[in-house]
Amino acid sequence: MRIKRLFGIGFLPVFLVLCIFLFLQSDFCPAQEVGEVDILEESSTPPPAAPTDVKAVDTPNDNGHSITVTWTLSVDDGAGLGNVVSYEVLRSDAPDGEFEVRGLAPAGEESFEDKGAKEKGDANYLPAGVDFYYKVRAKGDGLFSDSEVSAPAHAYGQWYHTGKTPVVVAVLAFSTFALVFITLARKGKKLYIRPLAGIEAVDEAIGRATEMGKPILYILGLGSADMIATIASFTILSRVAKKVADYQTQILIPCNDPINMAVAQETVRAAYLEAGRPDQYKEENIYYLTSMQFAYVAGVNGIMLREKPATNFYLGKFYAESLLLAETGSLAGSIQISGTDEIAQIPFFVAATDYTLIGEELYAASAYLGKEPILLGTLKGQDWGKAVVMIALILGALAATFNFQFFLNLFRIQL
Amino acid sequence: MRREVPLVLTAIVGLTMIVSHFIPPFNILKDLFEDWFFIIAAFAIYLGVLNLLRVNADKLYKKKPDAPFGLVVILGFLLITIPGLFFSGGRSFSDPGTPFYYLYIHVYYPLSATMFALLAFFVASASYRAFRARNVEATMLLVAAFILMLGRVPIGDWMTAWLPEGYRLGEWADWIMDFPQTAGQKAIMIGIALGVVSSALRVILGLERAYMGGE
Amino acid sequence: MSGEVVGVWIGAILTLGIFSFLYKDNPFYKFSEALFVGVSAGYWFVVTFWQYFLPKLIDNLALAYTVLAVEGRIDYHWVYILGGGLGILMLLRLFPSVGWLSRWSLAFIVGTTAGLQFTRYLESNGIIQVKGTILPLIVGGDLNTTIGNIVIVVGTFCGLIYFFFSKEHRGAFGGAARIGVWFLMITFGALFGYTVMSRMSLLIGRMDYLFSNWLHLIG
Amino acid sequence: MNQENMQEEKSFWEKLLAIDRRIIFLFIIVAIALPLFFKVSMRIPVTPVAEGTYQAIENLPAGSKVLASFDYDPGSMPELQPMAEAFFRHAFRNDLKVVIMGLWPQGPLQANIALEEVFQDEDVKAKNLQYGVDYVNLGFTAGNEVVIDRMGHSFEESYPRDGQGTPLSEIPLMRGVRNYDNVDLIFNLSAGYPGTQEWVQYAVDVFHVKLAAGNTAVQAPAMYPYVQTGQLSGVLGGMKGGAEYETLLGIPGRAVRYMFSQAIAHAVICLFIIIGNLAFFSMRKRRAS
């Protein structure tokens, strides 16, 4: 404890000085705009004809700060002289003002999105609500010609993204399912839940560790708290930790991410408290190893061979390290329960561990282990969601076979 | 304060993020929150590093049997951080030619690539242990793996050279990847989407709150 | 000996250290492992500092300060102070008496993730996948695609049945779930076999490093 | 007697099932390491997409200039380095001039590593190639696809000097090379972004230059559509693509050797699976009877 505090107090001022020093040393400079020089050459061949019908409008479904420019191709693009190489889009705040190049579109393109930054002070700032004028330059072989200047246009933000309606409908539908079944569960309606082998094995696995007097190893995966699989793993950890506290076994959690370490510490502490054994909680068993994938594996493999845990849990986000961990664990003779939503890694867990929670089962696990009716209600909601998807699947296949375009359009999402 | 503030904060931030998907002006918050996330992570790394150094310093201090290796961890850490922070040209620290780059190429990279390469051995031992035609399900897994393994190297095509073109092992492998594999993958993906939605909802509604700790 | 040659020797020795793990745990592996953990933690620390801490926090605040000093107005970038504040709350974990404040930062992170992934998964893993499964069951004149499309639609349908939690797998429903499991098993087998190739490539790459770059046994 | 025999046999299968995994590891090491020492030229079926890349280079007349962009890092070495070596062998054999560059910081270094290897060849040595005349390494420039676009106007804008600091105007090979109009082919080795896709979109589509590529196995299938439309002459996919290239070239090198290891290793794994299952079934049969 003393070492920890010493580190903490001594560290902060050192850290601040370090930051200031490093900042001064670093070459801070805002992004530089790179100008482009066009080489004009005297030539006997005529320049490509200018594009026509240049229009500028606000880009729909955004938060402002973007204008879309469209034009009709130059007659020399692909046909005529055929010497158009690209189009340059230029912008000015006055029709007769100075035009600056905003971007480039290859020949054959008929539109360009002039995307600006939304922060004042940024070199690329494009204010909303200010009128701009555009022209389009057809370029080829060092020669160019400009279109007429467009009518003014300004960018403005929209309050609803029209392309996302299917997502809104889905969000509302699934939230409703979940809420309805949570309410029903609160009222005491009994819900049937089919048994899952991986979940049933949890108690047995913890019991085995107690009998053998060996610790349990819990791996949260390679994800950080920015992944739902990791958060799902935290919720499972809280159930597992409570059982571990009940059985009075030790749980080891080497973490690959300091935030995961902090959350895991909070979770396990709370679980021990809930089990009525806060004195048994050992924070030093939940520690940071390293954030780099294979170094983390090397470290965990070492722990497995030296501590010989009775049971290993691998729940969360896993990548190529899945099999390295699972095979070493089986070498060390541990019972292993795994689960991930990373599809490419599920096969390795299926092959090398004793029980595997496949995809959605990982997300259902904490509800299964908690056995609280409210959480089970959300599972029932999930099933209703699946039923809707399956109906859509069948109807969709029929619609596609008989070419009912209307149905297909229901799923159109604009990104 | 200890329990309520975090729960309310989770709910507000979560709902804001959901809504920002449909309301373009909220995008600015999405970007901002993602930046904050990185900032928090950048601070958290100090927690992690201190924890690592403390655990290993403890090994030395208490003269545990693996104390020398604790020292190696600490020295390894200093070996790369000191040049990386002070002697590798500031922000261009990872450019070829800097000491940081040298350590990356000659220490970090070989270790990492070798650890990754151990997979080849474990793929073999896992196949031997697990690929048994115990029942129909296991047999299907086995057969699919077999076809893909042989179909991706020239052996597969030699073995089936007597078949007409278009029906050789390589083509079977492609067919399995294109159709049944796609179907299985889609089913898992859709299931995951529903699982994520339901888990996220439980977190935002505060039904799962264990990770917030006790009093 | 040039730096490059020394580097190859270091790399080769560490490579052997990791490989020795295949025989059994030994001091040589322990050394390589400890060095690896230390160096990689340091690597990540340095990268985080230069690529996240500095650009995301300090640069933004410096920009805000520059605007204030030069133009005398309060800039949007000052909001990054809040992000920095949440970061500092994390560091309070070092002091047990105020450590609970770090839960605010954790709550912020968990909330952001839950909200962001909610819509992201629903859109890209849900709706877009369903849309991709909407395939014509009969394609005139193309037997291969016809069979393939039927396989995809039936496989996805049965696979989803397997994932039902609140219904017993019995009767016709159980039969469909069983077919679903078959599809999942074929998927797993195929993905396993598919990956074997790239895993072997990695080992070949390492072996070649040892034999050519280090020992020069292979020309 | 009979009973004793049975017991012995039983224990054989049992032993086989519980085989120490170190024995399996040993087999894998041998299966991979041994073939590396043999110069076996395995017959490798060549796919049309790989042939496209080979033909694009093969069809260039002697003295043509090829711009080679190395867009990968050491992580993709096992897959892309054999292609790099085969490319240089091919180019020097056909007396092509090579301009090396990189959109990834480590790319041009990978090119140098490959060159060192290729210069060991007797045939290449005999040509007495000179830096600045037969090949040049421009180095790395930051800016991703913007670099590609700017080079369409002028190489000098993105690369005022080569990797060694010599101004381009003083390099004999670069005399008369202003932009893509003055090179005959772009060859790109890519492991992600920026890479082949960017070269197609910003160089081929805009400046109508010819492009051939080699990619990692993961990325290659995504490039097939470009080959189909002709925007890309061909693409080599992963280690197998490298082996195909070497086969076409008639100089079996690393990739063919690698492929031999790969095939043997796959066969060994399959053999182990078969043995495991034989043991499993004979055990079960015995138990049933």
Residues of chain D with pLDDT under 50: 1-4
Name the residue of chain C whose CA is nearest to A324's CA: C22
Under DSSP, is residue B124 helix (H, G, I), strand (E, B) or coil? helix
B130 at interface of A, judged by CB pairs closer than 8 A:
yes
Distance set, CA D73 to CA D113, D188, D245, D259 (Å): 12, 13, 21, 21
C191 at interface of D, judged by CB pairs closer than 8 A:
no
- Taking the alpha carbons of B20, B26, B28, B33 in that order, is the dihedral positive or negative? negative
Mean pLDDT of A7-17: 46
Check whether A84 has a pLDDT greater than 50: yes
Q: Is residue A14 assigned to a domain?
A: no
* CA gap D105, D113 in Å, rounded: 14
- A389 and A263 housed in the same domain: no
**Which residue from D43, D30, D5, D53 is spatially nearest to D190, judged by alpha carbons?**
D53
Using CB atoms, which residue from D21, D146, D207 is nearest to A85?
D207
Q: Which of residues A124 and B55 earns the better pLDDT score?
A: B55
- Residue D45 is given by DSSP the state P
Residue A44 confidence class, pLDDT cut points 50, 70, 90:
low
A120 at interface of C, judged by CB pairs closer than 8 A:
yes
B18 at interface of A, judged by CB pairs closer than 8 A:
yes
- Residue C21 is given by DSSP the state G
Size of interface A-D (CB pairs under 8 A): 19
Q: What's the pLDDT score for residue C125?
A: 85
Q: Which of residues D165 and A53 earns the better pLDDT score?
A: A53
Percentage of residues in chain B having pLDDT higher than 90: 52
Q: Which amino acid is at C22?
A: L
- A343 and A403 housed in the same domain: no
Q: Which of C47, C52, C210 to mutate to test the interface with B (most CBs of B within 10 A)?
A: C52
Name the residue of chain C whose CA is nearest to D218's CA: C198
Q: Which of residues A160 and A211 earns the better pLDDT score?
A: A211
Contacts of A292 in chain D (CB under 8 A): none
Portion 317-356 of A in contact with D at CB < 8 A: 331
pLDDT digits (tens, 9 = 90+) for A132-143: 899 998 877 667
Distance set, CA A405 to CA A314, A397, A408, A409, D265 (Å): 45, 12, 5, 6, 50
Backbone angles phi, psi at A93, to 5 degrees: -95, 0
Contacts of D105 in chain B (CB under 8 A): 94-96
Residue A413 confidence class, pLDDT cut points 50, 70, 90:
low
Contacts of A360 in chain C (CB under 8 A): 163
Do C161 and A305 count as a contact with CB atoms less than 8 A apart? no
Kindly state the tokens that stand for B175: 């067919």
Under DSSP, is residue B192 helix (H, G, I), strand (E, B) or coil? helix
Percentage of residues in chain A having pLDDT higher than 70: 86
- A338 and A400 housed in the same domain: no
* Total domains present in chain A: 3
Q: Is residue C128 assigned to a domain?
A: no
Q: What's the pLDDT score for residue B28?
A: 80
Q: What's the pLDDT score for residue A18?
A: 47
Using CB atoms, which residue from A235, A278, A378 is nearest to B210?
A235
Residue C203 to chain D, least CA–CA distance (Å): 8
Q: Which of residues A99 and D164 earns the better pLDDT score?
A: A99
Percentage of residues in chain B having pLDDT higher than 70: 98
Q: Write out the residue range of the structural domain in which residue C180 sits.
A: 135-219
Chains that contact B by 3+ CB pairs under 8 Å? A, C, D
- A115 and A217 housed in the same domain: no
pLDDT digits (tens, 9 = 90+) for C124-149: 888 888 888 888 888 887 888 899 99
Do C43 and A413 count as a contact with CB atoms less than 8 A apart? no
Name the residue of chain D whose CA is nearest to B95's CA: D105
Q: What's the pLDDT score for residue A289?
A: 95
End-to-end CA distance of chain D: 19
Q: What's the pLDDT score for residue A121?
A: 58
- Interface confidence, given as ipTM, is 0.86
Q: Is residue A348 assigned to a domain?
A: yes
- A366 and A379 housed in the same domain: no
Residue D126 to chain A, least CA–CA distance (Å): 41
- A367 and A236 housed in the same domain: yes
- Residue D131 is given by DSSP the state B
Portion 125-184 of A in contact with C at CB < 8 A: 164, 166-167, 170-171, 174
Residue A106 to chain D, least CA–CA distance (Å): 5
Q: In this structure, what CATH number is given to the domain that contains residue A101?
A: 2.60.40.10
Q: What's the pLDDT score for residue A164?
A: 81
> Length of chain C in residues, anyone?
219
C94 at interface of D, judged by CB pairs closer than 8 A:
no
Q: Is residue C37 assigned to a domain?
A: no
* CA gap A237, A267 in Å, rounded: 7
- A69 and A127 housed in the same domain: yes
Contacts of C205 in chain B (CB under 8 A): 113, 117
Q: Is residue A326 assigned to a domain?
A: yes
In this structure, what is the dihedral angle of CA atoms B171, B177, B183, B188, given to the nearest 10 degrees?
A: 170
Q: Is residue A75 assigned to a domain?
A: yes
Do C160 and A119 count as a contact with CB atoms less than 8 A apart? no
Distance set, CA C41 to CA A271, B78, B166, C38, C48 (Å): 29, 10, 51, 5, 10
Do B131 and D273 count as a contact with CB atoms less than 8 A apart? yes
Portion 166-185 of B in contact with A at CB < 8 A: 185
Residue carrying structure tokens 């993020």:
B17
Mean pLDDT of C158-181: 94
Do D153 and A39 count as a contact with CB atoms less than 8 A apart? yes
Q: Is residue A24 assigned to a domain?
A: no
Residue A4 confidence class, pLDDT cut points 50, 70, 90:
very low
Q: Is residue C156 assigned to a domain?
A: yes
pLDDT digits (tens, 9 = 90+) for C35-61: 999 999 999 999 999 988 998 899 989
Q: Is residue C108 assigned to a domain?
A: no
- A170 and A216 housed in the same domain: no
Angle, CA B64 vertex, CA B61 and CA B68 arms, to 5°: 80
Backbone angles phi, psi at B179, to 5 degrees: -110, -75
Check whether A42 has a pLDDT greater than 70: no
Kindly state the tokens that stand for A57: 């409008």
Q: Is residue A360 assigned to a domain?
A: yes
Check whether A400 has a pLDDT greater than 60: yes
List the beta bridge partners of residue D185.
Answer: D66
Residue A83 to chain C, least CA–CA distance (Å): 40
Contacts of A107 in chain D (CB under 8 A): 205-206
Q: Is residue C27 assigned to a domain?
A: no
Q: Is residue C187 assigned to a domain?
A: yes
Residue A206 confidence class, pLDDT cut points 50, 70, 90:
very high
Q: How many CB atoms lie within 10 A of CB D125?
A: 11
Name the residue of chain D whose CA is nearest to A331's CA: D21
Angle, CA B150 vertex, CA B145 and CA B154 arms, to 5°: 160
Lowest mean pLDDT among A325-339, B47-61, B74-88, D206-220: D206-220
Q: How many CB atoms lie within 10 A of CB A305?
A: 17
Q: Are strands A143-146 and A133-140 parallel, antiparallel or unpaired?
A: antiparallel
Q: What's the pLDDT score for residue A38?
A: 43
Using CB atoms, which residue from C34, C106, C189 is nearest to B76?
C34
Mean pLDDT of C55-82: 89
| Cα diameter, chain A | 93
Do B76 and C133 count as a contact with CB atoms less than 8 A apart? no
Q: Is residue C42 assigned to a domain?
A: no
Q: How many CB atoms lie within 10 A of CB D248?
A: 20
Kindly state the tokens that stand for B80: 């790369």
Q: Where are the beta strands (DSSP E) in A13-97?
A: 52-58, 66-72, 86-92
Q: Is residue A44 assigned to a domain?
A: no
Q: Is residue C101 assigned to a domain?
A: no
* Total domains present in chain C: 1
A85 at interface of D, judged by CB pairs closer than 8 A:
yes
**Which residue from C8, C15, C25 is spatially nearest to C202, judged by alpha carbons?**
C15
Q: Which amino acid is at B179?
A: F
Chains that contact C by 3+ CB pairs under 8 Å? A, B, D
- A215 and A308 housed in the same domain: yes
Q: What's the pLDDT score for residue C202?
A: 85
Name the residue of chain A whose CA is nearest to D206's CA: A106
Contacts of C198 in chain D (CB under 8 A): 217-218, 238
Q: Which residues of D touch C (CB under 8 A)?
A: 22, 25, 28, 32-33, 36-37, 77-79, 120, 217-218, 238-239, 254, 257-258, 261-262, 265-266, 269
- A361 and A265 housed in the same domain: yes
pLDDT digits (tens, 9 = 90+) for B148-185: 888 877 788 778 888 887 788 878 888 898 889 989 99
Q: Is residue A280 assigned to a domain?
A: yes
In this structure, what is the dihedral angle of CA atoms D40, D42, D48, D51, given to the nearest 10 degrees?
A: 20
Do A262 and B18 count as a contact with CB atoms less than 8 A apart? no
- A76 and A121 housed in the same domain: yes
Do B112 and A295 count as a contact with CB atoms less than 8 A apart? yes
B120 at interface of A, judged by CB pairs closer than 8 A:
no
> In the β-sheet with A100-106, what is the strand arrangement from edge to edge?
A100-106, A86-92, A133-140, A143-146
Contacts of A174 in chain C (CB under 8 A): 122
A106 at interface of D, judged by CB pairs closer than 8 A:
yes
Contacts of D202 in chain A (CB under 8 A): 106
Q: What's the pLDDT score for residue D88?
A: 96
- A358 and A391 housed in the same domain: no
Do B191 and A360 count as a contact with CB atoms less than 8 A apart? yes
User: What is the residue-averaged pLDDT of chain A?
Assistant: 83
Distance set, CA A135 to CA A151, D206, D244 (Å): 10, 20, 49
Q: How many CB atoms lie within 10 A of CB B61?
A: 12
Q: What's the pLDDT score for residue A10?
A: 45
Q: Write out the residue range of the structural domain in which residue A321 sits.
A: 191-371
Kindly state the tokens that stand for A7: 């580190």
